[in-house]
Structure 1
């Protein structure tokens, strides 16, 4: 992700994620040395994005979203698979994320790629909803 993508990424975030990130928060991510953002474009238009923080050999997915007009086309799967392959080159040993308990579509996507349940963060989100903690371990796929 580059500065020129911020407005499109923020729009996708706003229409896709309940606790979406502002333009300022996304701009800060460009300067965050541990943050990496991947975008998917179609005909020069950003249609999806995924963010991750890389701290030593552990990686935390911060957000992922696809524009509503482009869902159910495999874009989120491709973003995650490309991210996982890239993080492997950085010697990442584990990828973690939190997903809303009610977000069954995202949960199913993560499960289909190989993420497993590792716990629950009670009342994790601003509205009090629990988060399911999921992990992807490279060693499980070697």
Structure 2
């Protein structure tokens, strides 16, 4: 993948429809469009970034920055662009950004069955530190809580 064709930037309200489209393609219980609108317009702790390939948004990540901790709310890559290490690129970017904003640690939840994501997070230094039982409303699947020091 030619990185000259990739740009990561802060998301704007104008990006919300494409973010929501990727969300729907990626998750069995996607967040609502209104949830993303609220994140981008009213949540003062929320920071969202989009990854563009050839000026088309193909991925996004959201985090909440609370004091010295960052919480990943969502991260997704358009299924047509998966397997090209774009998720890793986006995660490294948001980890570095969180650290620059003063965060010392970062956390996220991931489905116990999402082995691809778990593998990526472990590669990035995240460690499993707990389980949220029945976390996902659609299947009552457990979530692994993962943390990394930045």
Cα shift at 1:91: 1.2
SS across alignment from 1:86: helix
1:38 aligns with 2:20: no
Query: TM-score, normalization: structure 2?
Result: 0.90
Cα shift at 1:21: 1.1
The equivalent of 1:60 in structure 2 is 71
The equivalent of 2:89 in structure 1 is 78
* Cα distance in 2 between the residues matched to 1:136 and 1:18: 26
Runs of 4+ in 1 over 6 A off after TM superposition: none
Query: What RMSD over aligned residues (CA atoms) do the two structures have, in Å?
Result: 0.8
Structure 2 residues without counterparts, runs of 5 or longer: 1-10
SS across alignment from 1:119: strand
Cα shift at 1:19: 2.1
Q: What are the superposed Cα offsets for residues 57-109 of structure 1, whole Å, 9 maximum, x if unpaired?
A: 11110010000110011110010001011111111011000000011111111
SS across alignment from 1:50: strand
The equivalent of 2:6 in structure 1 is none
Structure 1 residues without counterparts, runs of 5 or longer: none
Cα shift at 1:3: 1.2
Match of 1:11 among 5, 18, 21: 21
Query: TM-score, normalization: structure 1?
Result: 0.94
* Cα distance in 1 between the residues matched to 2:29 and 2:63: 16
The equivalent of 1:125 in structure 2 is 136
* Cα distance in 2 between the residues matched to 1:37 and 1:97: 15
1:135 aligns with 2:135: no
